[in-house]
Amino acid sequence: MASLGQFIRERREALRRTDPSYSLRRVAERVGLEPSYLSKIERDLVPPPSEAALVRLAGELRVETDVLLAMAGKVSSDLKEVIRKRPVLFGQLIRELKDLPDHAILRLVREVRDGDW
Amino acid sequence: MIELMHDALIFSFPGVHAEAVMRVELQRTLRIPDDGRDYPLPPGLGRFPLRHVDDFAARVPERWLRHGGVMLPMYQSEALWLRFVSVYDYPFVLKIGTGKINAVTGDAWSDGVCRDPQDYVVVPAQPWLDGYAVEKGVIRQFVAMPLGSGYSVEEQITGAAEHGGIQLVAHPMKAGAWERLKRKVYHLAESGVAYAAVAAPAAAYDMGLAPGGRMRQEIYEDPYRFEDWDFSHRSRCFVHIANSLVWRAITGENPPTVPPTAKEYTDAGLPWFEYYAEDLAALEGAEKLAGLKSVAQLGEQKGDVPLPENEPVTPERVIALRRDLATHEVRQGDF
């Protein structure tokens, strides 16, 4: 299982094979990080960067934001906000669904309620 | 089961057949002139926004919550049509009411289904419904008026302004009958022009549908055997019509802008439509509905002007859509 740094580097290098604008320097520039800092991130020499930086990196490298955040040991703050607003409801829901296989959680169906008329 | 997705109602019956899936859309459109002339089919201008009433429980009338269902916004004198898409061509019986009056027969709403006289449409044989069945091959367009103003079909027939909105009940074909039928598949190409619109006027919460201008449209006879329908499975939905002027207060969202007039649309050279399905028989109109006054007629009687901009229009560009007898595909012709 790749570390955050390895994941970022492998993805960037894969894109660079067909597009030279994915060099370390150019990507660092576009996401607003110092190239030396991005290099350290890719070599796992520093702790993961901020959520904002990770969101920009995910966009640049065209990977799922939530996946990159998870690899960095973080959860997207919008998800945290959803749970914080109704902690019992969502806490229960997530715990109940946590062991279901992928295909069983494909979609939550919300039905149109029919009442009395 | 009914789901609300992308402003459409998706009816499905997983307990009957995986292919028993039908989409019902409520489409915005032009109001055709209510002047006694017969008009071809106007275009679809996109779906009305559709929301669960439960999502705005604190802001909608208590009555709506009792009914359950969904809601959409319409301006006074705006028109609407219903579009039916059977995703796998699976057949359905669909009953449609407005203000709990059946739009095909003018009879009081019942949850049961009547074969003769037929009080339902069959999907996908029936691709759309633009209004009330007043004569064979002619409907009067669904036009929104404030509930309580006296114009709606419900008020003209019952004298009361109790329900408003649109009622839908669907039954699928029996799975066995569908499997036998599957060899013959009818394809229906979609029509309807996407077009952006502009401009608005007074506010009761509830709207009801009233009979507007005359349009050439047939309601097709059920081509299947009555015993092939599965009446033990049913899905129902109450679609409330909110006055667009209160939509923002209810949902916090802006309602769609006012659609173009028939004249603006036609002057812009945009097309109208005619649809022919020669292999299907059409129902006679309902006397109860033919006997009602259209919005313009009733307005004249009351001394109101409920339909601003009602001048006649001559659609010159009309695209013919035809259900092809040989290949069962819809093809376009120009005339």
CB pairs under 8 A between A and B: 44
Question: pLDDT category, B251, cuts 50, 70, 90?
Answer: very high
Inter-chain residue contact B100 with A117, CB threshold 8 Å: yes
- pLDDT tens figures, A2-11: 899 999 999 9
Chain B nearest-CA residue for A108: B3
Inter-chain residue contact A113 with B54, CB threshold 8 Å: yes
pLDDT of residue A105: 65
Q: Please give the domain boundaries of chain A with CATH numbers for all domains.
A: 4-71 (1.10.260.40)
CA distances from A65 to A19, A95, B77, B286 (A): 22, 22, 47, 58
CA pair distance B271, B328, nearest whole angstrom: 24
Element (H or E) spanning A84, and its range? helix A77-85
CA pair distance B41, B216, nearest whole angstrom: 7
pLDDT of residue B309: 85
- B247: closest CA among B72, B23, B43, B18? B72
Question: pLDDT category, B74, cuts 50, 70, 90?
Answer: very high
Please, what's the largest Cα pairwise distance for chain A?
A: 68
ipTM of the complex: 0.80
- pLDDT tens figures, B175-225: 999 998 886 544 433 333 333 222 223 347 899 999 999 999 999 999 999
CA pair distance B54, B74, nearest whole angstrom: 19
- Contact residues for B311 (Cβ-Cβ < 8 A; gap 6+): B33, B35, B263
Alpha helices in B170-256 (DSSP H): 175-181, 244-251
Inter-chain residue contact B238 with A110, CB threshold 8 Å: no
Please state the pTM of the whole predicted model: 0.76
Q: Which two tokens stand for residue B125?
A: 């044989």
Inter-chain residue contact B69 with A113, CB threshold 8 Å: yes
Interface contact A110, partner B, CB < 8 A: yes
Interface contact A117, partner B, CB < 8 A: yes
Transcribe B117-159 into DSSP letters.
TT-SEEETTS-EE-EEEEETTEEEEEEEEETTSS-SHHHHHHS
- pLDDT tens figures, A83-104: 999 999 999 999 988 888 876 6
8 A C-beta contact, residue B74 and residue B243: yes
- Span of A16-25, B133-142, B148-157, B195-204 with lowest mean pLDDT: B195-204
pLDDT of residue A106: 62
Inter-chain residue contact A114 with B237, CB threshold 8 Å: yes
CA pair distance B240, B251, nearest whole angstrom: 14
pLDDT at B158 over 80: yes
Inter-chain residue contact B66 with A115, CB threshold 8 Å: yes
Question: pLDDT category, B139, cuts 50, 70, 90?
Answer: very high
pLDDT of residue B183: 64
Higher pLDDT, A113 or B111: A113
Tally of domains in chain B: 1
pLDDT of residue A29: 96
pLDDT at B44 over 70: yes
Nearest CB among B4, B68, B100 relative to A114 is that of B68
> Could you tell me the residue range of the domain that residue B25 belongs to?
2-334
Nearest CB among A112, A116, A117 relative to B3 is that of A112
- pLDDT tens figures, A21-50: 999 999 999 999 999 999 999 999 999 999
Question: Closest approach of chain A CAs to the CA of B335, in angstroms?
Answer: 42
Question: Closest approach of chain A CAs to the CA of B237, in angstroms?
Answer: 6
Residue whose structure tokens are 């992928």: A102
Inter-chain residue contact B66 with A117, CB threshold 8 Å: yes
